Structure 1
Amino acid sequence: MVSAAVTVHYFYDPLCGWCFGAAPLIEHLAERDDIELILHPGGLFDSRVLDKASRQHFLDSDQRIHALSGVTFGDAYQTKMRHADPVVLDSMLPIRAILATAQCGFPATDMLKRIQIAHYQQGKTAHSPAVLAELAQAMGIEADLWHATFEATNEQDAISESIRQMMQYQLQGYPSMMVEKQGIRQSVPVQSFFGKLDAWDDFLNRLSENG
């Protein structure tokens, strides 16, 4: 890819429902070769066991996210959230998988999308190393390369750097986004584009033209 004059910094967590709502926007952005996209992982959940009240809170939020963005939360996921025991959310290994995917030479955004689908539509345990290996295999990453890279990747350094930058630029929560042009960063209200791909495309075109 030719070096782009515009960079978009995306601060996300793979198990954040609102980031799943942003998935169509990120997928569209990732397809462009005139804007560089850099992912900054968050690390919302570290082996968090959800009680019934927390599960219901997430399911209620999911309804709002669906209404705004149009993304689908699958039956398997909803059944798991209502009835499985326990339900554990862990962002750490999914983030490691996303970082490892890039180190293997494959698109990190592709792994992020697959993890979100596995969790939010298929109801799979997204932090399972076996599930993550299956996703990597489906992308075409050779098994030995994946295992070695995954084991050697340190997600904590990336998470710490993301948190540092979010504090520096006073970003609140996930998803957060900044546009960088000529060394200057400006926050983008990414949630305002949920369900508005045409407006999102117009915004990206203006970014590129003015880059």
Structure 2
Amino acid sequence: MVNAAVTVHYFYDPLCGWCYGAAPLIEHLAERNDIKLELHPGGLFNNRTIDQASRRHFLDSDQRIHALSGVTFGDAYLAKMRKTDTVILDSMLPIRAILAAGQCGKSGLEMLKRIQVAHYQQGKTAHAPAVLAELAQAMGIEADVWHATFAATNEQDAISESTQQMMQYQLQGYPSMMVEKQGIRQSVPVQSFFGKLGAWDGFLNRQSENG
């Protein structure tokens, strides 16, 4: 458990390409014991069928994300977005899985990472309950515990809370981030640190030192 004077609030969606690009920064932050990380899930997609024009837009964005952050978009994902007749994206069940993982005593951030890999590298249907159950099993969660917890978890409350906070602090889109020190929050331009792990580490050091 991190007991720190500085908290980073990370507003994300598991199927947001730019959030996938932020993953190396978030993982590095999570490794520190001097800054607390809180995840706030968004809800970009609700069982949405993605048309060809939207897919082309996503793939163009993916190229920019890769160039800036270095994250890999796998061949299976690219083939799915280019060639599959019907592509459906749903953030709701992946968010439920992230919350459920935490309730099972595991890391919600680890579940987020596994979901991103399943979607963006392996081309899997990230909202399929069977896929999410496989990810939970890989994290060491027993099947009966997982199914009961997953069924009982309400992602809508967490999404609503995130939306309210984003409106309160005038945050625009995902990923968004705020640093909280002594009850005061300030927005962080997280995308400006893509591919700049040294600068990111220096930024986090300054937050911790001034916390």
**TM-score, with length taken from structure 1:** 0.99
Letter paired with 1:207:
Q
Output the CA distance in 1 between the equivalents of 2:136 and 2:52. 32
Q: Which residue of 2 aligns with 1:75?
A: 75
Q: CA deviation at 1:63?
A: 0.3
Output the CA distance in 1 between the equivalents of 2:105 and 2:126. 21
The answer on whether the counterparts of 2:94 and 2:132 sit within 8 Å (CA) in structure 1 is yes
Q: CA deviation at 1:144?
A: 1.1
1:144-155 paired onto structure 2 within 5 Å: 144-155=144-155
- Equivalent residues, number: 211
The answer on whether the counterparts of 2:2 and 2:35 sit within 8 Å (CA) in structure 1 is no
Q: CA deviation at 1:179?
A: 0.3
Q: Tell me, which stretches of 5 or more residues in structure 2 are unaligned?
A: none
Letter paired with 1:61:
S
1:32-91 superposed Cα distances (whole Å, 9 cap, x missing partner): 111110000000000110111111110000000001100010000000000112100000
Q: 1:90 to 1:2 in 2, by over 3 A?
A: closer
Q: CA deviation at 1:2?
A: 4.4
Q: Does 1:122 align with 2:116?
A: no
Output the CA distance in 1 between the equivalents of 2:48 and 2:94. 14
Q: Which residue of 1 aligns with 2:46?
A: 46
1:105-128 superposed Cα distances (whole Å, 9 cap, x missing partner): 111110000000000000000000
Q: CA deviation at 1:142?
A: 1.2
1:141-166 superposed Cα distances (whole Å, 9 cap, x missing partner): 11111111100000000000000000
Output the CA distance in 1 between the equivalents of 2:147 and 2:35. 31
Letter paired with 1:21:
G
Q: Does 1:187 align with 2:152?
A: no
Q: Tell me, which stretches of 5 or more residues in structure 1 are unaligned?
A: none
Tell me the C-alpha RMSD between the 2 structures: 0.6
The answer on whether the counterparts of 2:20 and 2:116 sit within 8 Å (CA) in structure 1 is yes
Higher mean Cα deviation, 195-204 or 168-177? 195-204
Q: Does 1:109 align with 2:109?
A: yes
Q: Which residue of 2 aligns with 1:176?
A: 176
Output the CA distance in 1 between the equivalents of 2:114 and 2:85. 24
The answer on whether the counterparts of 2:94 and 2:115 sit within 8 Å (CA) in structure 1 is yes
Q: Does 1:30 align with 2:33?
A: no
Letter paired with 2:125:
T
**TM-score, with length taken from structure 2:** 0.99
Output the CA distance in 2 between the equivalents of 1:101 and 1:85. 32
Q: Which residue of 2 aligns with 1:161?
A: 161
1:9 is paired with a residue whose SS is: strand
